Each structure stands twice: as structure tokens, then as C-alpha cells.
Amino acid sequence: MELIFWWMPLAAIGAALVGAFVYVRWRRRTRERLHRDGTPVAHSERLTELPEYRRVLRRYRALLSALLVVVVVASGAGVLLSSRVASRDVVEPQSYKRDIMLCLDVSGSMTDVDARIVDTFASLAKGLDGERIGLTVFDSSAVQVFPLTDDYDYVRSQLTSYRDSFRSQGESGLRYWTGTDLGQGASLIGDGLASCVLGFDGDDSGKRPKSIVLATDNYVNGNPILTLTQGAALAKKRDVRVYAIDPVDYSADGSPDKVATELKTAVDSTGGGFYGLSSSDTVPSIVQKIDAQEAGLFTGAKRLVIADHPAPFAISALLLLMGALGLLWRVRL
């Protein structure tokens, strides 16, 4: 514990000494004036020696003494309250944080699953604290919609706009495919995945685990710069886990085709996982897996925390003030 305004008690003591000095001088002058100008009263001892008078006088002096003590203690509590009694601590804030990049193939066959993914993350953003979310969309070229950010109001507004655009096929006013058709071909998965990996800020400390939620059916139409395998290798090199969602439902026969098997092998190599869009629980399941496996302890920079502790002194001052009022009322009686 310490006093933030340490000079306040010194100022109060100085003011008390000055006040005591002025009072003593005033009291002395008052006595001298009464002795000089006062009117003598004969036989006053007959009154002052009466038992009832002595009892009342003792009671009066006791009440005045108690009132003086209460006022002094209350003033001391008030001075300490004004001085800001506080504690200082140097803390290193720790919390579990992660970076999540939504990497969405926006070719025609992917709009339904894209809408479901962004809708889920728009809802999740309400309860996030410290996690950063980014969004990149791609077809023949990639577009970063917004970088990794923890501005959750902005994240929700953007994801909601893209969800509405996916559902309305661009009729809601936002053309989700803008800028994604500048290359040769369509669904260039390896290039899109690599663009999403490069969307992280290059922090290699490992304090912020990185995840990519990749939505694609892995049907490539064209000649990408990087293959899916090369894109996955880049993710693994940068310690990024990739969780893929394939819109094809394999629940009927449980046998993914060659294209899906290639996608599964690639994302499994990063430590992530492969999911077929078999139910509405697919995206929440991925989120739970990311939450369970991707959480990492993040230690922030040291901060000086000053915590005020006014309650004991404020309560004491209030109680003493009430006591002083009660004593003052008894003195007047």
C-alpha cells in the first residue's frame, strides 16, 4: 500500500498546527479580555460546587472530548481518502488467444457452405476476447476482404454482409466475387491457400497459434502457380493448421473421391483436419476443435497496475461523521 498524493497528510498536519496555534492565541486573548473587561460575580462557587452542576459539567466535557476525538479521526480518514491509498503491481497479462483466417473458395459450387461458415463466425465474434479473425476469398485470384483483426464490430458487419451476399448470389448489393476472377481458370486452390497463409502477420514466436478454415471442393480448373500440396507445405512450414470443409456429402457411402482424398491428405499434413459438409454441426465442430487444440498461452507486455482502495476509509469517514452528528446533538441537549 502507498499514498499516491503523499503530500496530503503533510499538508493536513501543517494546517492542523497552524489552526492549533491560531486557536491558542485566540483563547489567550479572549481570557485576557474577559479578565480585564468582565463583570465579577459574587459567590459563584455556590453554583459550581453543586453535585448536579458538577455532574452536568463532567458529562458536557466528556461529550466534547469524544466529539473532538471523533472529528480528528474522521478528518484523518478523509485525508487518507484524499491521498488515494493504492497498491502498485507489475503484471504480465496472460490469456488464450489465436489467429483464425477464413479462406473461402467463392466459385459457384461453394456459396452455400461459405454462407454457413461466415454466419457461424459472425455469431462467435460476439464472445471472442483477444482472438483475431481475417477473411480471404479466392477463385482464380485471391482478395483479402479484411486482415486479421480483433475489432469484432467490424468483423461482424463484414461477415454479415458477405453472408447475405452468398445467400442472395450478389443481389444484396455486395458482389462477393469482385476481384476474384482476374486470373486464368477457376478454383485455383493452391494459390488461394498460399494467399491465406501469407495473410498472417509473420509472427513466428508461436504465442498466437494460427488456423485456416478452408472451404473448397478442390476441383481445380486451370494452372495454378502452386499446387494444393505446395500450399499445404507452406502452411506447415509456417506452423499454420488447415481445416478443410468439402461441400460434397460423403455420408451416404463414406468413400471420398480422389479429389477429396487429395484435399484430406494435404490438410492432415498440417495437423488440421478434413470435414465433409454432412450436417449443420460441421462448422461448430471445427470451431470446437480449433478451440481445444489451437489455444495457446499468450503473455502480454508487462504493465503497471495501480489499484485504489478507498472503501475502508470512505466507510470509516461516513460512520464517524454520523457519530459526530449524534454527539453534537447530545451536546446541545
pLDDT tens, 159-200?
A: 999 989 988 887 877 888 888 888 888 889 999 999 999 998
Q: Which pLDDT tens digit goes with each residue over 73-82?
A: 888 888 888 8
User: pTM higher than 0.85, yes or no?
Assistant: no
- Measured CA to CA, the distance from residue 290 to residue 272 in angstroms comes to 9
Which residues on neighbouring strands pair with residue 213, listed in sequence order? Answer: 102, 243
Q: Is the pLDDT of residue 299 over 90?
A: no
**82 contacts: CB under 8 Å, gap ≥ 6:** 5, 8
224 contacts 188 by C-beta, under 8 angstroms: yes
**310 contacts: CB under 8 Å, gap ≥ 6:** 81, 84, 85
The DSSP call for residue 78 is H
- Candidates 299, 292, 132; CA nearest to 207 is 299
- Measured CA to CA, the distance from residue 213 to residue 162 in angstroms comes to 16
Q: What is the mean pLDDT of residues 16-28?
A: 85
Distance of CA 214 to the CA centre of its chain: 29
**159 contacts: CB under 8 Å, gap ≥ 6:** 118, 119, 121, 122, 125, 135
Residue that the C-alpha cell 459567590 belongs to: 43
